[in-house]
Amino acid sequence: MELNPNDIFQLAATIWEATLGIQIEAVSSQPPSSKRRSTAACIQITGAWNGAILLDTPDSVARRAASAMFNTDASKVQVTDLQDAVAELVNMVGGNVKALLPETCYLSLPAVVEGGDYSTRVPGSQVLTRVFFSSEGESVTISIVEKVKPQTAAA
Amino acid sequence: MSQTIAPAPSISRTLIQPFIVAVRDVFHKMAKVEITCEKPHLKEGNHTSYEVCGIIGFSGHVSGSVVVSFSDQAALKLVEAFVGEKIDRNTPDFADAIGELANMIAGGAKQHLGGSASISVPNVVIGKGYQIANMSQVPCLVIPCKSPHGDFAIEVCIKQR
């Protein structure tokens, strides 16, 4: 299974533009890691293809997204709003990615984490595609991971 | 020997007891470790109980999520007892083992929950001071668990349809 990073960037660009009114810019490589607070969401895909999509955004981007989605002043956005906004974004990305996958696949509910010092992993998976982009100068990452099939013993 | 604990008010016993049974079974069978569960209580705030968490989603006749949350020390020791060797906290194998433990606990509970419940693939989060989103308007119950290797907790945030 292959997913073109350009396709993933394009669908992210469409979602950002249509939902948040923000134009994103492609970034060629992963920015240096920092201890910034971030909100990450993971949605699982099962069925004809098994894997997950992880969306990692700085809290500033999540705050801007929540403000746009819920029509709220950014200064009044709560952590739960950040989580809901990023959950909705990963759900939209998941829905679009699902359309690129073989039929029939199912999306799980998103799992969302917010904090300043954590890492996430989907056990038993490997990265298939990773896309970096800039949203109003802040770096956002979309990772698509594929479940690794268990090795079968040779006869 | 069975262990029956009265859950906090407003949470259905039938949704909690399967996790108490499952966590004791999993660690007894897979790691030869005896677990004691204390009285469940409602979770206050959104921060996780401990630093190392495995998250499992539920769908079907029960929906929501369950987080198995270990202290660093308990996670290292319990994974060692489960796998049979020490595993570095910063390796994928460690996260895989935490995910597998969470998966077995949720899978065991699913059997006792009956009906058509399905569970997701686990998602593992390791760090400090983070919070995991729960379903709104669904109370989250924390089942404190004690082991000879350290403490951990099961955070149950599911509802029956």
pLDDT of residue A30: 72
* pLDDT band, residue A49 (cuts 50/70/90): very high
CA distance, residue B14 to nearest chain A CA (Å): 23
CA distance, residue B39 to nearest chain A CA (Å): 26
Query: Do A122 and B55 make contact, defined as CB atoms within 8 angstroms?
Result: no
Is the Cα torsion angle A24, A28, A34, A40 positive or negative in sign? positive
What is the average per-residue pLDDT within A6-22? 96
Query: Do A79 and B46 make contact, defined as CB atoms within 8 angstroms?
Result: yes
Contacts 24+ apart (CB under 8 A), A60-63: A60/A138, A61/A135, A61/A136, A61/A138, A61/A140, A62/A38, A62/A86, A62/A114
A44, A114, A124 member nearest B120 (Cβ): A44
B99, B128, B132 member nearest A111 (Cβ): B132
Q: What is the ipTM of this complex?
A: 0.83
Burial of A70 (0-12, 13-18, 19+ CB in 10 A): middle
pLDDT of residue B63: 86
**Number of other CB atoms surrounding residue B37 within 10 Å:** 21
Dig out the tokens for A6 from the structure. 């350009």
Best A80, A81, A113 member to test B by mutation, with max B CBs in 10 Å, is: A113
| Confidence check: pLDDT of B128 > 50 | yes
For residues B128 and A117, the answer to whether their CB atoms sit within 8 Å is: yes
Burial of B46 (0-12, 13-18, 19+ CB in 10 A): middle
pLDDT of residue B5: 62
pLDDT of residue B16: 93
* pLDDT band, residue A32 (cuts 50/70/90): low
Chain A contact present for B96, CB below 8 A: yes
* pLDDT band, residue B10 (cuts 50/70/90): low
CA distance, residue B28 to nearest chain A CA (Å): 23
| Confidence check: pLDDT of B2 > 80 | no
Query: Which residues in chain B have Cβ-Cβ distances shorter than 8 Å to A119?
Result: 125-127
Contacts 24+ apart (CB under 8 A), B82-89: B82/B30, B82/B31, B89/B52, B89/B126
For residues A70 and A82, give the distance between their C-alpha atoms in angstroms, rounded to a whole number.
10
pLDDT of residue A5: 93
Query: Which residues in chain B have Cβ-Cβ distances shorter than 8 Å to A112?
Result: 132-133
Across all residues in chain B, what is the average pLDDT?
90
Query: Do B65 and A42 make contact, defined as CB atoms within 8 angstroms?
Result: no
B34-85, pLDDT tens digit by residue?
999 999 999 988 889 999 999 998 888 888 899 999 999 999 999 999 999 9
- Residue B64 backbone class (left: φ over 0; alpha: ψ -120 to 50; beta: rest): left
For residues A59 and A115, give the distance between their C-alpha atoms in angstroms, rounded to a whole number.
9
pLDDT of residue B6: 55
Residue of chain B whose alpha carbon sits nearest to that of A113:
B132
Rounded to two decimals, what is the model's pTM? 0.87
Contacts 24+ apart (CB under 8 A), B2-7: B3/B36, B3/B37, B5/B37, B5/B38, B5/B39, B5/B40, B5/B143, B6/B39, B7/B40, B7/B141
* pLDDT band, residue B121 (cuts 50/70/90): confident
pLDDT of residue B161: 76
Chain A contact present for B73, CB below 8 A: no
Query: Which residues in chain A have Cβ-Cβ distances shorter than 8 Å to B126?
Result: 118-119, 121
* pLDDT band, residue B3 (cuts 50/70/90): low
Query: Which residues in chain A have Cβ-Cβ distances shorter than 8 Å to B122?
Result: 122-123
pLDDT of residue A152: 54
A79, A80, A121 member nearest B92 (Cβ): A121
